[in-house]
């Protein structure tokens, strides 16, 4: 680590802002500050209440348990250009990537992992969803970061515990992106641009409005970079639009369109000879959601029709044959999701829902010798579910809950998911405990592999991966300026799918994998002054066996935000323990990545005095110039910076 002038400038500016905010607080409103000397000039300063750094909140829901939320202000303070950057400081989450901009594939080159979940590739136990609709590659059954635009997110809800009832298949952990929506009457928008190290540029725009019963939001963005290494360039583009209309009587209709494209190159292992062709991962995706919703007696219900269509063009290098080839994937996921909640028995609530999902597509390889088909498959699930909760007590509220989902797969038969929990809210604060039995069905990828192996439809004999999840948590009341959340968890995964190499040929897959994860997560937020917000988080995870990829034993994160007058300064830091990198699906030697520390910062100046709505900002990444990597041989950039401006109207 080599602190330099950029680090000192950020720290100095931050300390000055924080101390100035404290001084203003004492001068303006502290009765213990004593009388002001007669000769002291009046202080004309306005102190803005500062949002929390890193996390917006951790809330409890009877069926969902603890939900961690990263809000739009936190996304902006973190200078996040994609989901990995927005979620990198959440305790229990770990990210991996190769590039400054763009994600190379859905594994080491660009992924988010939660308590060891999401490490199985192809396939995934962790899911991304947009507005409650799971968004993933229908063939390989895992999410791609470049297919989710961070600019359209009002907030990101992180469900680190299993969610078999509300989200169903592929929900050992879930990250849901809640789209922006204009709530107030009128029109507004924002344009922003930035440029920095490695010729990295960002352009974003947003316009929104509401007039009477009609509201709309449109966002567009492009990010691109030459990359910090040769062959590490990347680019992402996104367009999001939502329009809604209130029909009256609590009913409303909405239409959402989300279009993304990404391109990322693989720089390869540092020091190794570069192939004649640089591997590159291109993806494009379009998603549409038509929603009919209603609000009644404080309860919400909806019917959603959705279509998620995408493609991958993956240029690769075959080192054995010394030739390049392309892997092409086209997928289409579509279906219906319906849910409603009703008040029953006075203080009870019942939630009922139905999911009808179809997902899949075709994959093939284009080689010099011709096309190699990998099949064209479409899987279908029908899943009814229900949950019930009831609140007892007044000063101490006790809310037990229970839920169940039955998933009928056209290809794998039926499987049950269930959960039960209890939530306590009282003068002491909050506490909860829950158990969940979750499932993850074999994906279309199993059928594609078996097609290539010449095994026909033998993939239908595979069974779902299963998880038993236990969790308890407490959030004691610490007053109006501080919050603390502590969660203990235990996950037991069985029947995980693993590759079975020959002999005898051909290869196959089997439900032979098993692993456990147990640990604790702590989050503390403090706002000692309206102008200063502080955050600290820690996570401890122990696994059996010990070599679960991307699951460090210890992680620590922190953040601070200070505002005063025209300035806002944000710092975020993280220390991640050494960890294994690799893929448990396939046999082979796993490698270890060293521990690292990262410090990032952003200073924003509001320039309304010059132009109404104008702000300028400067950001610094890896301010301590740490040497770090997410995968051995793939060093990430040292200290880097960018500057930019935004205009709100």
Indicate if the pLDDT at residue 509 is higher than 80.
yes
Exposure pattern of 251-282 as b/e (b: 16+ CB <10 Å)?
ebebebebbbbbbbbbbbeeeeeebeebbbbb
- Please state, in angstroms and rounded to a whole number, the distance separating the CA atoms of residues 362 and 564: 55
Higher pLDDT, 348 or 582: 348
The region of weakest confidence among 30-39, 283-292, 339-348, 623-632 is 30-39
Strand extents, DSSP E, 152-298: 153-159, 173-179, 186-196, 200-211, 214-225, 234-248, 251-265, 280-296
pLDDT tier, 282 (very low <50, low <70, confident <90, very high otherwise): very high
DSSP annotation of 623 reads T
Indicate if the pLDDT at residue 514 is higher than 90.
yes
Mean pLDDT, all residues of the chain: 92
pLDDT tier, 587 (very low <50, low <70, confident <90, very high otherwise): confident
First-to-last CA distance in the chain? 41
Distances (CA, A) of 339 to 69, 167, 491: 22, 11, 28
Give me 613's structure tokens.
């709505």
pLDDT in tens, 37-90: 444 444 344 445 677 899 999 999 999 999 999 999 999 999 999 999 999 999
Phi, psi of 17 (to 5 degrees): -65, -45
DSSP annotation of 51 reads P
pLDDT tier, 405 (very low <50, low <70, confident <90, very high otherwise): very high
The answer to whether residues 596 and 576 touch, using CB atoms and an 8 Å cutoff, is yes
From the list 450, 444, 447, the residue with the least C-alpha distance to 506 is 450
pLDDT computed for residue 48 by the predictor = 58
Mean pLDDT over 508-517 rounds to 96
Mean pLDDT over 116-145 rounds to 94
pLDDT tier, 297 (very low <50, low <70, confident <90, very high otherwise): confident
The answer to whether residues 478 and 520 touch, using CB atoms and an 8 Å cutoff, is no
| Domain boundaries 5-10+48-267+290-320+328-648, corresponding CATH code | 2.40.170.20
From the list 18, 12, 37, the residue with the least C-alpha distance to 27 is 37
- Please state, in angstroms and rounded to a whole number, the distance separating the CA atoms of residues 429 and 485: 10
Residue spans per domain, the chain = 5-10+48-267+290-320+328-648
Distance of CA 529 to the CA centre of its chain: 30
The number of residues in the chain equals 649
Indicate if the pLDDT at residue 26 is higher than 60.
no
pLDDT computed for residue 39 by the predictor = 43
Whether omega for the bond prior to residue 563 falls within 30 degrees of 0, making it cis, is no
Q: How many CB atoms lie within 10 A of CB 298?
A: 8
pLDDT tier, 179 (very low <50, low <70, confident <90, very high otherwise): very high
The answer to whether residues 264 and 109 touch, using CB atoms and an 8 Å cutoff, is yes
- How much of the chain, in percent, has pLDDT values that exceed 90? 87
Distances (CA, A) of 593 to 54, 96, 103, 271: 25, 11, 19, 17
Mean pLDDT over 395-399 rounds to 97
pLDDT computed for residue 13 by the predictor = 40
- Please state, in angstroms and rounded to a whole number, the distance separating the CA atoms of residues 67 and 65: 6
The answer to whether residues 123 and 445 touch, using CB atoms and an 8 Å cutoff, is yes
- Please state, in angstroms and rounded to a whole number, the distance separating the CA atoms of residues 210 and 590: 53
From the list 610, 614, 618, 606, the residue with the least C-alpha distance to 564 is 606
Mean pLDDT over 509-533 rounds to 96
Give me 576's structure tokens.
């991640």
Q: How would DSSP label each residue in 531-550?
A: TEEEEEEEEEEEEESTT-TT
- CB burial of residue 507 (10 Å; 0-12, 13-18, 19+): middle
Phi, psi of 9 (to 5 degrees): -65, -45
- CB burial of residue 311 (10 Å; 0-12, 13-18, 19+): middle
Q: How would DSSP label each residue in 331-388?
A: EEEEEEEEEEEEEETTTEEEEEEEEEEEEEEEEEEEETTEEEEEEEEEEEEEEEEEEE
pLDDT tier, 588 (very low <50, low <70, confident <90, very high otherwise): confident
Strand partners, 499: 509
pLDDT in tens, 465-501: 999 999 999 999 999 899 999 999 999 999 999 999 9
pLDDT in tens, 351-395: 999 999 999 999 999 999 999 999 999 999 999 999 999 999 999
- Please state, in angstroms and rounded to a whole number, the distance separating the CA atoms of residues 470 and 162: 9
Helix extents (H) in 474-589? none
pLDDT computed for residue 276 by the predictor = 93
Distances (CA, A) of 240 to 77, 216, 259, 341, 478: 22, 11, 6, 29, 40
The region of weakest confidence among 38-42, 97-101, 356-360, 452-456 is 38-42
From the list 174, 106, 155, 133, the residue with the least C-alpha distance to 288 is 133
- When computed from its CA atoms, the radius of gyration of the chain, rounded to whole angstroms, is 25
pLDDT computed for residue 263 by the predictor = 98
pLDDT computed for residue 343 by the predictor = 94
- Please state, in angstroms and rounded to a whole number, the distance separating the CA atoms of residues 305 and 291: 7
442 contact partners, CB below 8 Å, separation of at least 6: 123, 412, 459, 462, 463, 464, 497, 509
The answer to whether residues 437 and 419 touch, using CB atoms and an 8 Å cutoff, is yes
pLDDT computed for residue 49 by the predictor = 62
pLDDT computed for residue 170 by the predictor = 94
pLDDT in tens, 199-241: 999 999 999 999 999 999 999 999 999 999 999 999 999 999 9
DSSP annotation of 506 reads S
pLDDT tier, 584 (very low <50, low <70, confident <90, very high otherwise): confident
- Please state, in angstroms and rounded to a whole number, the distance separating the CA atoms of residues 53 and 560: 6
pTM: 0.91
Sign of CA dihedral 540, 546, 552, 553: positive
DSSP annotation of 444 reads H
Indicate if the pLDDT at residue 36 is higher than 80.
no
Residue pointed to by tokens 């900002």: 617
pLDDT computed for residue 313 by the predictor = 98
From the list 226, 247, 347, 261, the residue with the least C-alpha distance to 295 is 247
pLDDT computed for residue 96 by the predictor = 95
- Please state, in angstroms and rounded to a whole number, the distance separating the CA atoms of residues 305 and 637: 42
């Amino acid at each position: 680590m080599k602190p330099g002038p950029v680090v000192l400038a950020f720290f100095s500016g931050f300390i000055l802002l924080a101390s100035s905010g404290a001084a203003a607080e004492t001068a303006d409103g502290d009765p213990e500050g004593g009388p002001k000397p007669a000769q002291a000039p009046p202080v004309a300063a306005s102190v803005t209440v500062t949002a929390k750094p890193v996390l917006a909140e951790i809330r409890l829901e009877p069926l969902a348990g603890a939900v961690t939320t990263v809000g739009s202000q936190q996304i902006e303070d973190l200078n996040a250009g994609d989901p990995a950057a927005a979620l990198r400081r959440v305790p229990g989450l770990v990210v991996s990537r190769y590039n400054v901009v763009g994600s190379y594939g859905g594994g080491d080159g660009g992924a988010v992992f939660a308590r060891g979940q999401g490490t199985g590739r192809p396939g995934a136990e962790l899911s991304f969803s947009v507005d409650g609709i799971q968004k993933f590659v229908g063939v390989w059954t895992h999410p791609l970061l470049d297919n989710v635009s961070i600019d359209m997110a009002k907030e990101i809800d992180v469900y680190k515990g299993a969610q078999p009832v509300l989200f169903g298949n592929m929900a050992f952990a879930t990250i849901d992106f809640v789209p922006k929506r204009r709530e107030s009457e009128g029109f507004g928008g924002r344009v922003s641009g930035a440029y920095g190290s490695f010729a990295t540029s960002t352009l974003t725009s947003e316009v929104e409005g509401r007039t009477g019963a009609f509201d709309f939001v449109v966002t567009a963005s492009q990010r691109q970079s030459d990359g910090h290494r040769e062959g590490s360039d990347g680019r992402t583009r996104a367009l999001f639009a939502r329009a809604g209309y209130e029909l009256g009587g609590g009913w409303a209709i909405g239409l959402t369109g989300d279009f993304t494209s990404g391109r990322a190159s693989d720089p390869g292992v540092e020091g190794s000879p570069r192939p004649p062709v640089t591997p590159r991962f291109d993806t494009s995706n379009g998603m549409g959601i038509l929603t009919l919703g209603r609000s009644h007696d404080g309860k919400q219900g909806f019917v959603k029709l959705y279509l998620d269509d995408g493609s991958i063009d993956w240029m690769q290098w075959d080192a054995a044959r010394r030739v390049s080839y392309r892997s092409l994937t086209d997928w289409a996921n579509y279906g219906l999701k319906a849910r409603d909640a009703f008040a029953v028995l006075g203080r009870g609530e019942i939630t009922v829902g139905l999911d009808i999902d179809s997902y899949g597509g075709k994959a093939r390889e284009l080689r010099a010798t011709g096309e190699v088909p990998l099949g064209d498959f479409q899987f279908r699930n029908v899943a009814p579910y229900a949950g019930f909760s009831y609140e007892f007590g007044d000063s101490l509220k006790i809310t037990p809950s229970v839920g169940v989902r039955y998933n009928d797969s056209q290809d794998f038969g039926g499987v049950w998911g269930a959960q039960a929990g209890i939530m306590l809210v009282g003068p002491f604060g909050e506490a909860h405990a829950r158990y969940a039995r979750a499932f993850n069905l074999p994906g279309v990828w199993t059928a594609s592999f078996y097609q290539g192996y010449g095994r026909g439809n033998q993939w239908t004999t595979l069974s779902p991966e299963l998880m038993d999840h236990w969790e308890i948590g407490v959030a004691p009341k610490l007053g109006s300026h501080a919050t603390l959340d502590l969660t203990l968890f235990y996950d037991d995964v069985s029947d995980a799918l693993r590759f079975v190499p020959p002999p005898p040929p051909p290869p196959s897959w089997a439900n032979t994998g098993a692993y456990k994860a147990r640990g604790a997560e702590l989050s503390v937020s403090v706002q000692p002054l309206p102008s200063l917000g502080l955050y600290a988080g820690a996570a401890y995870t122990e696994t059996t066996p010990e070599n679960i990829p991307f699951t460090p034993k210890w992680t620590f994160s922190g953040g601070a935000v200070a505002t005063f007058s025209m300035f806002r300064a944000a710092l975020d830091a993280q220390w991640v323990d050494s960890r294994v990198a690799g893929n448990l699906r396939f046999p082979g030697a796993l490698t270890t990545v060293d521990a690292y520390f990262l410090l990032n910062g952003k200073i924003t100046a509001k320039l309304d005095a010059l132009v109404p709505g104008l702000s300028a900002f400067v950001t610094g990444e890896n301010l301590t110039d740490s040497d770090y990597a997410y995968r051995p041989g793939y060093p990430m950039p040292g200290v880097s910076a960018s500057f930019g401006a935004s205009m709100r109207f």
